[in-house]
Amino acid sequence: MSSPTLNALVHTMRYEADGIVSVELRPASPDVDFPAFEAGSHIDLHLPNGLVRSYSLCNPSTDRQRYVVGVLNDKKSRGGSRYVHQQLRVGMTLPISAPRNNFALHEDAPRSVLVSGGIGVTPIWCMLQRLSALGRPAELIYCARNRKESAFRDVIEQLAADKGVAVTWHFDDEKGAPPDLKAMLAGKGADSHYYCCGPTPMLDSFERACEALDYPNAHIERFAAVHVEAAPASESFTVECAKSGKTVEVPPGKSILDSLLDCGMNPDHSCKEGVCGACETQVLEFDGELDHRDGILTKLERESGKTMMICVSLCKGKKLVLDV
């Protein structure tokens, strides 16, 4: 079933950089209890225009009864970020999800190297605050197109000065080129853990750099699912639901999730874009191969065939057995 939501009050909205606002949410009434969260977590905002959008939490994970997200007014917005910037106002209430974490921080790592691109700084800033509070070795590489579009810069500089954290700033307009991540990450150690959140080209560059440098502990958070070219012709397949005992046919051009919903089932789901993780489902059996189209699972997780995001991923075979 769909996860229950929490009723949240828009307590504060703050200008953070050109095109970026932060939104502080608090419980809308005394009976609402915000669950604790870990660095790297995100929440879903159920906006009044009917859209559901996921945003990373950027405030310290030690905060209770307070969630803060940063929202970029995306030029390619399909209505989510545009609504936040143009219509969301202090005093409004809206349903939100409990925090989920697909970008977990390894707090015991010998060293953490945090890489952010643009609005991707939101979970990275949360991680940096957490590591600094724990006294763990960490450094930040902050990339943006220019200084005016770099959110949280002042507070990051203050934390760096107070805690002695190394911060490397890269602004494309000042450097004359995008960051060379392979060069910037070189020599930082194979036992370090590397984290990156940012636009797709940067994430792709980060993954290539870590692979070339033979860094096994590379972690990413995507804003959107990986684009996969649809096959010119797709075959239908059946989904056997182990818990409910139902068998559902998934026709060409339709998702597993929508097929299950049409049959009266209601598996946990939220974004329907393969980025929030709400619909991750255990795979019990399949023939052919799984066609993963999400932006969450790692290469090893995909190869294991143990779980899939049923809102976007499919099966290239005739039968799929799921634990639903």
pLDDT tens for 282-322 read 999 999 999 999 988 877 788 899 999 999 999 999 999 99
Write down the pLDDT at residue 233: 41
How much is the average pLDDT of 114-141? Answer: 97
At 5-24, the pLDDT tens digits run 999 999 999 999 999 999 99
Provide CB contacts within 8 A for 213, sequence distance 6+.
182, 185, 186, 190
Where are the chain's structural domains?
6-96, 112-221, 237-322
Same fold, 6-96 and 112-221: no
Q: Tell me the C-alpha distance between 219 and 200, whole Å.
A: 14
CATH architecture of the region 112-221: 3-Layer(aba) Sandwich (3.40)
Q: Is the domain 6-96 a CATH 2.40.50.140 member? A: no
Q: Among 98-112, 181-195, 267-281, which stretch is predicted with the lowest mean pLDDT?
A: 267-281
Q: Which two tokens stand for residue 279?
A: 């619909």
Closest CA to 37 of 100, 105, 96, 103: 100
246-252 contacts: CB < 8 A, separation 24 or more?
250/314, 250/315
Write down the pLDDT at residue 1: 44
For the question of whether the overall pTM of this predicted structure is more than 0.75, the answer is yes
Q: Which two tokens stand for residue 39?
A: 């660095």
Residue 320 buriedness (CB in 10 A; 0-12 / 13-18 / 19+): buried
Write down the pLDDT at residue 76: 78
How much is the average pLDDT of 133-139? Answer: 97
Provide CB contacts within 8 A for 251, sequence distance 6+.
236, 259
Residue with tokens 């809102």: 311
At 209-244, the pLDDT tens digits run 999 999 999 999 987 655 555 544 468 999 999 999
Class assignment of domain 237-322?
alpha beta
**CA angle, 74 then 127 then 301, to 5°:** 80
How much is the average pLDDT of 133-160? Answer: 97
pLDDT over 50 at 48, yes or no: yes
